[in-house]
């Protein structure tokens, strides 16, 4: 029936995908590093001198077997937290990570209370 046809069309789309592995680990790291001399670009996107040197350093460290987190820590110790796009979860950045979820919960509570209060009114 209709549903079957739809499912077949989707299958056909995916077949053309040619099973691929996930992104290169290196590219992931490059994307998370900020180019210090550019105006808002990651090391992956930048063509600057600094970006190309940094890529070499990251390649070396990955070959040595360092994990992504170790590499980030190393670079943060040399250049400060500004160089990493994923802000680490520490005291400083606590509110950054917590506030959105706090808001989500409060918003949900608010709606819940609103509807609850209304059920009450309806019952009365």
Partner 1 sequence: MLNNTGHLLIFLVMFLSLTIIYKSYLELKINSQKISNSIYQLSLFQCTFAISSFLVLIVAFINSDFSLINVYENSHSAKPLFYKIAGAWGNHEGSLLLWINILVIFSYFFLIFNFNHLKKFRLLTLIIQNLLILGFVIFLLKNSNPFSALEPVPSEGLGLNPILQDPALAIHPPLLYLGFVGCSIYFSAAMASMLANYRGKSFALSIKSWVLISWCFQTLGIIVGSIWAYYELGWGGFWFWDPVENASLLPWFAITALMHSVMVLEKRDNLYSWVIILCLLTFILSVTGTFLVRSGILNSVHTFASDPARGIYILIFLSLMILSSLVIFFKFYKKENYSFNFKSKETFILINNWFMTFFLVTVFIGTLYPIFLDVLTDVKISVGPPFYNIVIIPLVIPLLLLMVFGPQFNWINSNKFFSTKLIILILGAVGVNLFIFFIFGSYSFLTNLIFISSIFLIFYSLIELKKVLQKKIKFNLPRIISHLGFGMLVLFIGINHQYSLEDDFNLKVGDEKKFSHYEIFFDDIKLKEETNYKAVIGNFRVKNIKNDTTQSLNPEIRIYANPETLTYEAAIKTRISSDLYLTMSNISRSDFYNIKFQNKPFMIWIWISALTIVLGGFLQLLNRRNEN
Partner 2 sequence: MKISFYKIIIFVIVFFLLIVFWLGLQKDNSYNTKSLVGTTLSSFNLPSINNGDAITENYLKNNKFTIINFFASWCAPCRIEHKYLLNLSNNGIKIVGVNFKDKKDNALQFLNELGNPYEFVAQDVDGKASISFGIYGIPESIIVNDKLIVIKKVIGPINQQIYEEILENLK
Number of H helices, E strands in the chain: 5, 0
Rounded distance between C-alpha atoms, residue 96 and residue 79, angstroms: 21
Rounded distance between C-alpha atoms, residue 19 and residue 121, angstroms: 57
18 counts as binding partner 1 under rule CB under 8 A: yes
Torsion of Cα atoms, 64 then 67 then 69 then 75, to 10°: 10
- State the number of binding residues for partner 1 (CB under 8 A): 62
Residues of this chain that bind partner 1 (CB under 8 A): 2-3, 6-7, 10-11, 13-14, 16-24, 26-27, 30-32, 34, 38-42, 44-45, 47, 49, 52, 55, 80-87, 92-93, 95-97, 99-101, 103-104, 107-108, 111, 114-115, 117-119, 121-122
Residues of this chain that bind partner 2 (CB under 8 A): 36-37, 49-50, 53-54, 56-57, 60, 75, 77-80, 82
């Amino acid at each position: 029936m209709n549903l079957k046809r739809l499912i077949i069309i989707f299958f056909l789309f995916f077949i053309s995908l040619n099973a691929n592995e996930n992104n290169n680990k290196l590219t992931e790291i490059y994307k998370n590093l900020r180019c210090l001399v550019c105006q808002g670009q990651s090391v992956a996107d930048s063509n600057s001198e600094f970006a190309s040197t940094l890529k070499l350093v990251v390649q070396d460290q990955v070959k040595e077997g360092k994990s992504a987190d170790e590499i980030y820590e190393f670079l943060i110790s040399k250049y400060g937290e500004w160089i990493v796009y994923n802000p680490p979860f520490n005291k400083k950045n606590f509110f950054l990570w917590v506030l959105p979820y706090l808001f989500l919960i409060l918003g949900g509570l608010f709606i819940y209370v609103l509807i609850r209060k209304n059920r009450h009114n309806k019952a009365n």
